[in-house]
């Protein structure tokens, strides 16, 4: 985002519910905007002693000790998670002590800089040092360092009994990363770069989505069990990365595979963001859609009593914005002025602070937006005040603002600064020292540049780490950001938001969609589920935040043939039926339309016009 777009800040407030940052942050960082939805967020809260997942290890920091675990999976048909045997590593002065929750069966050394520790649970850990180190077994479950040590110590578990694992680790043990960066160098390209120390090449681990995207647009050569990927980006530090297909660690996200190279280039699909449907609406359906639009638009009333929830308000205005785009696509331009007036009346109070029940405020403690209600109640607005779900809520607002700015460019320019301030809360691309960065917000609040999807859970300690439930709303957030770029002629925003949107879609397909016959997840979980309800760092759950498991069975699994009979249950909401009938239309258009027309109500973000538009634009 250009710096000129980043000058506006919503009024500052002091929240009564936000926690203070933990000692994880050094004092000189506390004046900067801080991450609120990061994979290491537990470290930043309270005492900072809850574990977090650093693939493939669970890491926990307590006082001067570092606890490292290579977890195993516990699973059933409803959920599965990673269990945590502990390997503690503590430093006092220049003295090192290692203790385990399992007994130390043996400790041996093949050189003065490498030790092997075999535990009673049959795990074998390797300890590499940058200079000679003298370790001794102390009691049943401790290892002590004699004579002190200064230098670098690297600890890793052997992922299997194949002797090739150890020889691979030996080969790359002298090179280690000290920092990393991820940049969107050009459209639909994400580049990883690591600063390394030591000698030799850098060995890292890639999850399944990394491997899929590394392989795109690259020539490949199989040599035994090694895949050589020639980097297509001339800016790469190395001309290639080598994927060690035989070198694998288990993780909840699938096998992590060794990749040699200090620069990776990931290539997601190229997706064109547009205002209208990709294939167009069939002209013989215009009359039916226009009839529905007339009724839906006639029902818009900005003077009526309205929700004060930032989430439901956002859905309400995004719903109305859909009417304008649908009307434009089916050439029903007469209703657009009324929609534009409605959107102005509904959006402006949130942008100028005149909506009395609620509004956006700026929190200087962590550096981000919270709501008026959320500043006093951690549960209000689904936890928006403690940084839950920001991309969901703001995404709906951005969609409506983008559409309004499209139809009324003068209005768009008037509120451009406010729009970009909303955007910056979760879509700041640069860092504080970048000339084009908005230093009031952290970089990409929700999006995880390693996992390649967003985290919705904010400033709450969770045993299972961060989480996200609604991938569709995450995709919508970045789609809406791209539309905002289209409305303002901001090419960089369009390109970057589209790239993140595409990565979010890839991740949803990889980890939220449970495909029959695939080995990514345990068999008993795969047999009973086709979609993950809530995805956590160390857990996959079939349940939902917003309702009982049965609700998910009605829609979220998106198993149309299986779920349609379930719609006959008592108490099934009409809103859920609408979404399911939309999916049914992909294979039975006529049958779905009949059911859609019989609905008495729709989800608060949906409408008859939108459903008919969907059905008639899929062909």
Own/partner long-range contacts of 101-106 (Cβ < 8 Å, ≥24 apart): 101/141, 102/141, 103/140, 103/141, 104/137, 104/140, 104/141, 104/142, 104/143
In a domain, 431, yes or no: yes
Give the pLDDT confidence score for residue 228 in this predicted structure.
Answer: 40
Residues 262 and 291 in one domain: no
CB burial of 381-398 (b: ≥16 within 10 Å; e: otherwise) equals bbbbbbbbbbbbbbbbbb
Beta carbons of 135 and 109 less than 8 angstroms apart = yes
The tens digit of pLDDT for each residue in 515-560 reads: 988 889 988 888 888 889 899 999 998 876 555 555 444 443 344 4
Q: Which long-range contacts does 543-550 make (Cβ < 8 Å, 24+ apart)?
A: 543/78, 543/79, 544/469, 545/469, 546/469, 549/78
User: Is 263 in contact with 245 (CB distance < 8 Å)?
Assistant: no
Same-domain status, 259 and 185: yes
Half-sphere exposure at residue 473, Cβ-oriented, CA atoms within 13 angstroms: 22
Please report the pLDDT score of residue 106 as a whole number.
95
Which of 266, 283, 304 is the last residue before a domain boundary? 266
- Confidence band for 222, pLDDT divided at 50, 70 and 90: very low
Q: For residues 377 and 103, what is the distance between their CA atoms, to the nearest angstrom?
A: 47
280 vs 507: CA distance, rounded Å: 27
Q: Are residues 493 and 403 in the same domain?
A: yes
Condensed to tens digits (0 to 9), the pLDDT of residues 286-299 reads: 999 999 999 999 99
Q: For residue 420, what are its two tokens? A: 């970009």
What pLDDT does 88 receive? 53
Q: SS3 for 164?
A: helix
pLDDT at 553: 42
Catalytic residue among 52, 166, 296, 473: 473
Q: Would residue 164 count as lying in a domain?
A: no
Q: State which H helix or E strand residue 87 sits in.
A: strand 87-92
CA gyration radius, the chain = 26
Count Cα atoms within 13 angstroms, Cβ side, for 584: 25
The closest alpha carbon to 261, from 334, 200, 305, belongs to: 200
Residue 83 structural domain: 57-158
Q: What six digits make up the tokens of 402?
A: 């983008």
Residues 197, 339 within the same domain: no
* Known catalytic membership, residue 473: yes
Rounded to an integer, the average pLDDT of 326-332 is: 98
pLDDT band at 75 (very low <50, low <70, confident <90, very high): low
pLDDT at 385 exceeding the cut of 60: yes
The answer to whether position 119 is within a domain reads yes
Polymer length of the chain: 619
pLDDT tens digit string along 239-283?
479 999 999 999 999 999 999 999 999 999 999 999 999 999 999
CA within 13 Å, CB half, 508: 20
Residue 345 lies in a domain: yes
pLDDT at 329: 98
Q: Does residue 389 have an active-site annotation? A: yes
Residue 566 has pLDDT above 70, yes or no: no
Residues 255 and 332 reside in one and the same domain: no
The reply to whether 248 and 285 lie within a common domain is no
Q: Which entry of 389, 425, 490, 584 is annotated as an active-site residue?
A: 389
Query: Considering 219, 244, 266, which residue would you say is the last residue of a domain?
Result: 266
Q: Is residue 195 part of a domain?
A: yes
What mean pLDDT, rounded, does the chain reach?
88
Helices (H), 261-389: 286-298, 310-329, 336-352
Answer yes or no: do 384 and 460 share one domain. Answer: yes
Residue 535 lies in a domain: no
Residue 321 counted as domain residue: yes
Q: Are residues 146 and 211 in the same domain?
A: no
Average pLDDT over residues 473-502: 98
Q: 490 and 358: one domain?
A: yes
E-strand stretches of 162-307: 175-186, 189-198, 203-206, 220-223, 226-230, 240-249, 256-260, 263-266
Model pLDDT, residue 529: 86
The answer on 326 and 234 residing in a single domain is no
**Which of these is catalytic: 296, 464, 469, 584?**
469
Q: How confident is the model at residue 223 (pLDDT cuts 50, 70, 90)?
A: very low
Provide, rounded to the nearest whole percent, the portion of the chain with pLDDT above 70.
86
Give yes or no: 469 in active site.
yes
Which of 512, 536, 557 terminates a domain? The answer is 512
Same structural domain, 385 and 304: yes
Instruction: Say how many CA atoms lie within 13 Å of 333 toward its Cβ.
Output: 2
Residue 585 covered by a domain: yes
Whether residue 345 contacts residue 354, with contact meaning beta carbons closer than 8 Å, is answered with no
CB of 249 within 8 A of CB of 195?
no
pLDDT of 60 strictly over 60: yes
Contact 247, 262 (CB under 8 A): no
pLDDT of amino acid 547 = 55
Look at the chain and report how many structural domains it folds into: 4
Q: Let me know whether 150 and 196 are in one domain.
A: no
Residues linked to residue 91 through DSSP beta bridges, in sequence order: 96
pTM score, whole prediction: 0.91
Sign of CA dihedral 295, 298, 304, 308: positive
Phi, psi angle pair for 542, to nearest 5°: -85, -10
């Amino acid at each position: 985002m250009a710096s000129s777009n980043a000058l506006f800040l919503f009024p500052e407030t002091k929240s009564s519910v936000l926690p203070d940052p933990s000692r994880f942050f050094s004092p000189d960082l506390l004046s900067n905007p801080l991450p609120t939805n990061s994979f290491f967020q537990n470290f930043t809260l309270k005492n900072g002693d809850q574990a977090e997942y650093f693939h493939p290890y669970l890491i926990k920091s307590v006082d001067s000790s570092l606890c490292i675990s290579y977890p195993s999976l516990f699973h059933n048909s409803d959920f599965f998670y990673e269990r945590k045997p502990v390997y503690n590593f503590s430093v006092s002065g220049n003295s090192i002590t290692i203790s385990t929750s399992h007994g130390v069966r043996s400790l041996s050394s093949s050189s003065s800089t490498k030790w092997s520790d075999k535990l009673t649970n049959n795990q074998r850990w390797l300890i590499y040092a940058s200079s000679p180190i003298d370790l001794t077994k102390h009691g049943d479950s401790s290892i002590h360092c004699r004579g002190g040590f200064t230098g670098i110590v690297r600890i890793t578990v052997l992922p299997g009994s194949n002797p090739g694992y150890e020889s691979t680790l030996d080969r790359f043990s002298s090179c280690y990363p000290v920092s990393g960066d991820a940049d969107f160098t050009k459209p639909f390209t994400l580049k990883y770069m690591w600063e390394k120390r030591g000698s030799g090449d850098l060995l890292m681990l890639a999850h399944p989505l990394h491997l899929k995207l590394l392989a795109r647009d690259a020539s490949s050569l199989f040599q035994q069990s090694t895949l050589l990927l020639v980097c297509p980006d001339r800016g790469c530090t190395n001309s290639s990365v080598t994927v060690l297909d035989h070198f694998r660690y288990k993780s909840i996200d699938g096998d992590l595979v060794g990749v040699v190279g200090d620069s990776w280039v990931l290539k997601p699909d190229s997706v064109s963001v547009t205002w209208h449907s990709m294939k167009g609406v069939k002209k013989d359906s215009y009359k039916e859609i226009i009839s529905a639009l007339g009724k839906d638009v006639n029902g818009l009333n900005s003077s009526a009593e309205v929700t004060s929830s930032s989430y439901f308000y956002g859905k309400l205005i995004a719903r109305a914005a859909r009417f304008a785009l649908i009307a434009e696509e089916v050439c029903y331009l007469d209703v657009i002025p009324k929609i534009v007036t409605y959107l102005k009346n509904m959006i402006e109070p949130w942008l100028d602070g005149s909506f009395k029940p609620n509004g956006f405020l700026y929190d200087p403690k962590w550096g981000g937006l919270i709501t008026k209600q959320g500043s006093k109640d951690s549960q209000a607005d689904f936890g928006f005040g403690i940084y839950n779900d920001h991309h969901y809520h703001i995404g709906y607002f951005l969609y409506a603002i983008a559409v309004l700015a499209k139809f009324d460019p003068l209005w768009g320019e008037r509120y451009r600064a406010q729009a970009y301030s909303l955007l910056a809360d979760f879509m700041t691309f640069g860092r504080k020292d970048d000339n084009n960065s908005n230093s009031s917000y952290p970089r990409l609040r929700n999006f995880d540049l390693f996992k390649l999807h967003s985290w919705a859970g904010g400033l709450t300690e969770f045993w299972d780490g961060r989480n996200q439930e609604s991938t569709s709303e995450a995709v919508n957030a970045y789609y809406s950001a791209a539309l905002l770029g289209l409305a303002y002629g901001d090419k960089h925003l369009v390109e970057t938001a589209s790239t993140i949107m595409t990565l979010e879609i890839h991740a949803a397909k990889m980890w939220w969609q449970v495909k029959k016959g695939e080995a990514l997840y345990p068999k008993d979980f795969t047999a009973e589920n086709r979609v993950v309800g809530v995805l956590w760092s160390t857990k996959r759950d079939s349940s939902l935040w917003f309702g009982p498991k049965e609700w998910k069975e009605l829609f979220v699994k998106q198993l149309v043939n299986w779920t349609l009979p379930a719609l006959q249950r008592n108490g099934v909401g009409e809103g859920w039926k609408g979404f399911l009938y939309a999916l049914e239309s992909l294979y039975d258009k006529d049958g779905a339309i009949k059911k859609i027309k019989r609905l008495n109500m729709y989800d608060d973000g949906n409408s008859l016009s939108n459903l008919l538009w969907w059905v008639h634009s899929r062909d």
